[in-house]
Chains A and B, each alone.
Chain A
Amino acid sequence: MSLDLPYSQGGEFVDLPHDIRLRRIYPEGEDYDLSARTVLNVGPSHPAMHGTIRMVVELDGETIVGCDVIPGYLHRGFEKECEAHTYHQAIPYTDRLNYCSPLINNFAWVETVEKMFGVEVPRRTQLIRMYLSEVSRITDHLTCIGAALMEVGALTPFLWMIEVRDWYWEHICRVTGARLTQTYARIGGLARDVTDEWLDRCEQINSEHLVKTLRDVHVLVDHNRIFIDRMRGVGVVSQKDAISYGVTGPMLRSTGVGLDCRKYAPYELYEEVSFDVPIGKYGDNYDRYFVRMREMEESMKICRQLDPLIRATNGEEIKVDDSRVSLPPKSEVYSNIEALMNHFKLIMEGQRPPQGECYHAVEGGNGELGFYIVSDGTGRPYKARCRPPSFVNMGSAHLQLLGAQVADIVPIFGQINMIGGECDR
């Protein structure tokens, strides 16, 4: 890219030849030497740009003075594909949005459809959904922090955290049937019931592996001068900016705003459990790291509260008893003609929610994950839209990057935790 570009002052948008908009900051003064800058492409296939994203940064020495974030390399047309599939068939697509916590996406999607139907899923289903959402949140944060720490040079915490994540994933596989692409939620219920032994083992992973790992990671990096120097005061977003850019999730909470979908718009049964919303103070990387670490502990706390509640509902139904929504049980399909017809209708035409539109948001690993569906009364969505938290969070990336050093790109990006599948959909 030529440097002969129409520059303007003070971080304004400027029109560029390739119709790429760069955000820039300039030192005061007329005689600033533009030719002293370097334009550097970070990504799209850079190992630290997990997911696939390209950043065009303009450097003055080692300081970033211009920055353009170009997402979209992982665009798969999720929203358009949904229109060609039934509501049921779209569930596997949602697995591939935020692939660090696929179950939260699953549940968000089916809850949106359930909201359109106006059905209330059984209590046991809601409890299991909450439990698995919290486990997914833990795996999401483990991945994010592990990768972010590895990128600033701390490889050991990464290995420890990924090991714990693997215990969780293989254990989730025992109830869902897959480690990553779980496709576990069903409209009006769940694919499979959990057992007491499953809960026991999950609690064992929580208390034997997760607690120890979190404690060890705290010992390793919290007070380490290298870590502090690279994280504290880096990637600061002010509270005002975070709100005006629509940032949500741990990034927003790190600025001191205690906004959490689970608290201010409780879905499922989150009103029944008590948990804290950890917040930071300055909105820098160090705060984000801590907010995520604390959130894992909170998720564990929620799991522990849910454990006896799930056991108390043992043996209850996990699907709504509504022939518009849930497939009949297999034993009836094999023996009973009404159930067989119902089964055929639901598979061939799909669940047909009433005409209308609906938005439902849940607290995903990175922030508010919402689905907006417009139904025209047929078995396929007329329009489906996903509000991906990391796409919106990436919108504030230039605020953090401008003025930072080139070495700060990686920790800042790591703590934004952009998930390619979700950001580009």
Chain B
Amino acid sequence: MGTQRGKNKGFENLVDGQVLPQPAYQGEFTEGEIVQYYNPESMTWAERIYLPYVLAGLGLTAKVFLRNMVTWFVWLTYWVRGKGAEAKRGATTIYYPHEMRPDFSPVNRGKHILTMRDNDDPQCVACYMCATACPAFCIHIVAGEHPDPAIEKYPVRFDIEIDKCIFCGYCEEACPVDAIRLTTDVHLVDYKRERMVYDREYLLTWKPTYVEEEHVYPGDRPRKS
């Protein structure tokens, strides 16, 4: 990766310590609706007398306000017919938590789940990969011997300190048997700090509220081993 100094005009003139006489921006935009760069030395008379540009700004905000109000009134005509969800609203805000934002990401990393085998045993083989990969060191596993010799190990305890978790998704990436996954669920509040440690049973059985089709959840459609 060669360092190519002096490629840029401004950098060549840097040694002089002089203010560069660079012209205003002269490039081209496909949109053609962007104001060009300038920094004049003094104010024009219109700027000096203050009022014209304040009025221009007021006009713009008034335009936006009126546009939004009209949109709201149109929405109102739908709402009285009970079809409020169909029409466009005048504000970008959404009514959290009663609704999801329309562009809510289906791959958002949230609360963890553990997947199950067909007989409701955890898929996990207690290999400690996720605990090793975790940058926050918040997964704690105690391994036990499984009666089935083909499985060998299973987690006796599997605790995630969810309040330490940074939702990086490394555990999901590290797991060699697809036993731990991050759902899109973002509701993680509690009043007690002790309850912010999720144990094995909870991770295996809780039901995500927001289900995406590409995700597979425990009890729902357990992953076959």
Contacts and interface: CB of A to CB of B under 8 A. Distances in A.
Interface of A: 85, 88-93, 115, 156, 163, 167, 170-171, 173-175, 177-179, 181, 183, 191-192, 201, 207, 211, 214-216, 218-225, 228, 239-240, 243, 253, 255-260, 263-267, 276-282, 286-287, 290, 294, 297, 301, 304, 327, 330, 333-334, 340, 343-344, 347-348
19 contacts: A90-B135, A115-B1, A174-B106, A175-B107, A181-B166, A191-B169, A207-B31, A219-B57, A219-B60, A220-B57, A225-B53, A228-B43, A243-B17, A255-B19, A259-B10, A264-B5, A264-B11, A276-B25, A282-B39
Contacts of B101: 170
Contacts of B11: 257-259, 263-264
A264 B22 CA distance: 18
A62 to B, nearest CB: 23
A222 B166 contact: no
B78 to A, nearest CB: 23
Interface residues of B, number: 64
A277 B10 contact: yes
A220 B57 CA distance: 5
Given A177-B105, A220-B60, A286-B39, A85 B17 contact: no
A52 to B, nearest CB: 20
B174 interface: yes
For the complex, would chain B's binding face be called helix, strand, loop or mixed by DSSP majority?
loop
Given A224-B54, A225-B53, A239-B19, A173 B173 contact: no
For the complex, would chain A's binding face be called helix, strand, loop or mixed by DSSP majority?
helix
Q: What 5 A-B pairs come out closest when comparing CB atoms?
A: A258-B10, A173-B105, A89-B135, A223-B53, A225-B50
Given A170-B104, A177-B107, A257-B20, A334 B170 contact: no
A177 B33 CA distance: 33
B25 A278 contact: yes
Interface string B160-181: 0000001111100110111000
Contact of B9 (A93, A173, A258, A304): A258
A171 B103 contact: yes
Given A92-B166, A258-B9, A278-B25, A304 B30 contact: yes
Contacts of B170: 88-89, 92, 183
B47 A178 contact: no
Interface string B32-57: 01110111000110111010011011
Contact of A290 (B1, B31, B37, B133): B37
Nearest to B22: A279
B77 interface: no
A333 B129 CA distance: 13
B111 to A, nearest CB: 13
B60 A216 contact: yes
Contact of B135 (A85, A178, A263): A85
A338 B47 CA distance: 71
Residue among B10, B60, B166 with the highest chain A CB neighbour number at 10 A = B10
B147 interface: no
B37 A278 contact: yes
A138 B4 CA distance: 26
B209 interface: no
Contacts of B132: 347-348
